[in-house]
Amino acid sequence: MTKDITPNGTIALIDGVRRIHYDGYWLKYYDPPADSLQTKKILIQALTRRLFNHVEHGINIPGKRLAEARASYETEQDPARKRVKGAMLAGTLFNRASDIFTKLVELQEHGVEIDTDNALMRECGFCLQEALELGRLVLHRSGEEGIDELWGEPFRAFSIPVEAFYESRYIKIAQTLEAIEHITGTMVATFAAGPLFEGVAPLIERFGEIAQVKSETLRTDPEIFDVWADFVVIAEQLAAFAPQLPPAAPEHMRQLAVDGHRLILQGRDLLTYITRARVPMPKSTAEYLDRCRYFAGQLHAASLPSAARPDS
């Protein structure tokens, strides 16, 4: 995808597809649903499921156990255990907010008018806000970092118009595409330097391209079947890549092959995490790029004549 300086929010028909421009990217555009309590209920429930799909296991606690979860968190003294219990409390708060919102919508469907200043609406907001604050304690399923954006999405969906929420998602998707470009570009530069990994660069580039398409495609889109199938197949092909070791390769070259293949798998996993969550993961990305730079130095040193190597 080519960046340009078109104003954010511009909508255009490109190759027969409606797209919206944000931060240099033309993203697939989806009409936002009508703004109503029913729409927000469905949206918050979907965002809550999405959240639990990406974070560490064991924190999806029913909202009716909020008092238990809070007491367990507040009385815990061990820092490591308190972090986990804080994550569990955050999950419980999210479920409590979803429970309240569901009941409010059911009342509205029965003709009961629900004002924005309703006590239960305020309670729902308080639960989402506290869950957002505790979300910093929760790790992604990779165990490497949290994803704060996912904790903020249900609260934003609750507190702002649906159309404004959709706009905020386009901004995050554009940031996601930029992160994917950065990672894949670094991977290509790292592994294209020598014959040991000849042939992997096109696979990395193709994976980055389909990762971007997947990031902008909603699961309700009819094209998701082809997009997800392509994404999985290219990921499998990338994982199956084998370094081009000569028959009598020395031990240091064999070790480089093992280390490089592990780095390729780590890059594939990172790109998969980012693509599925549709948000950047800056901490994990920075650490991975550092590993790529270190490995590129090792590849360069291995290509020097033996007398010129730092370890010779």
Q: Which domain holds residue 266?
A: 175-308
pLDDT tens string 181-214:
999 999 999 998 778 899 999 999 999 999 999 9
pLDDT tens string 2-14:
456 789 999 999 9
Do 184 and 303 fall within a single domain? yes
Q: How many domains does the chain have?
A: 2
Q: What pLDDT, on a 0 to 100 scale, did the predictor assign at position 84?
A: 95
Q: What pLDDT, on a 0 to 100 scale, did the predictor assign at position 307?
A: 38
Q: Yes or no: say if 116 and 73 are a contact pair by the CB < 8 Å rule.
A: no
Structure-token pair, residue 236: 């499998």
Q: Which of 144-148, 210-214, 298-302 has the lowest mean pLDDT?
A: 144-148
The residue out of 133, 159, 185 marking a domain boundary is 159
Q: Which of 76-90, 128-142, 230-244, 294-308 has the lowest mean pLDDT?
A: 294-308
Do 86 and 130 fall within a single domain? yes
Do 184 and 292 fall within a single domain? yes
**What does the alpha-carbon distance between residue 142 and residue 266 come to, in Å, rounded to a whole number?**
11
Banded pLDDT at 304 (limits 50, 70, 90): low
The residue out of 159, 186, 217 marking a domain boundary is 159
Do 301 and 196 fall within a single domain? yes
Banded pLDDT at 235 (limits 50, 70, 90): very high
Banded pLDDT at 308 (limits 50, 70, 90): very low
Do 204 and 147 fall within a single domain? no
Do 88 and 188 fall within a single domain? no
Answer whether residue 16 is part of any domain.
no
Answer whether residue 63 is part of any domain.
yes
Banded pLDDT at 1 (limits 50, 70, 90): very low
Q: Which residue has the higher pLDDT, 262 or 153?
A: 262
Do 143 and 108 fall within a single domain? yes
Q: What is the 3-state secondary structure (H, E, C) of the chain?
A: CCCCCCCCCCEEEECCEEEEEECCEEEECCCCCCCCHHHHHHHHHHHHHHHHHHECCCCCCCHHHHHHHHHHHHHCCCHHHHHHHHHHHHHHHHHHHHHHHHHHHHHHHCCCCCCCCCHHHHHHHHHHHHHHHHHHHCCECCCCCCCHHHHHHHHHHHHCCHHHHHHHHHHHHHHHHHHHHHHHHHHHHHHCCCHHHCCHHHHHHHHHHHHHHHHHCCCCCCCHHHHHHHHHHHHHHHHCCCCCCCCCCCHHHHHHHHHHHHHHHHHHHHHHHHHHHCCCCHHHHHHHHHHHHHHHHHHHHHHCCHHHCCCC
At 55, give phi and psi (nearest 5°). -100, 175
Answer whether residue 6 is part of any domain.
no
Do 224 and 139 fall within a single domain? no
Q: Which residue has the higher pLDDT, 290 or 302?
A: 290
The residue out of 95, 124, 159 marking a domain boundary is 159
pLDDT tens string 48-87:
888 888 889 999 999 999 999 999 999 999 999 999 999 9
**What does the alpha-carbon distance between residue 124 and residue 127 come to, in Å, rounded to a whole number?**
5
Q: What pLDDT, on a 0 to 100 scale, did the predictor assign at position 132?
A: 86
Do 130 and 201 fall within a single domain? no
Banded pLDDT at 310 (limits 50, 70, 90): very low
233 pLDDT more than 90: yes
Q: Which of 146-155, 173-182, 198-207, 227-236 has the lowest mean pLDDT?
A: 146-155
Do 187 and 298 fall within a single domain? yes
Q: What percent of the chain has pLDDT over 90?
A: 55
268 pLDDT more than 90: yes
Q: Yes or no: say if 40 and 154 are a contact pair by the CB < 8 Å rule.
A: no
Q: What sign has the CA pseudo-torsion 261, 266, 271, 272?
A: positive
Do 202 and 131 fall within a single domain? no
Answer whether residue 187 is part of any domain.
yes
Mean pLDDT of the chain: 88
141 pLDDT more than 90: no
Please give the C-alpha separations between residue 201 and each of 19, 188, 191, 295, in angstroms, as whole numbers: 29, 5, 7, 16
Answer whether residue 126 is part of any domain.
yes
**What does the alpha-carbon distance between residue 167 and residue 11 come to, in Å, rounded to a whole number?**
12
39 pLDDT more than 60: yes
Banded pLDDT at 109 (limits 50, 70, 90): confident
Banded pLDDT at 312 (limits 50, 70, 90): very low
Q: Which of 165, 162, 174, 135 is nearest to 151 (CA)?
A: 135
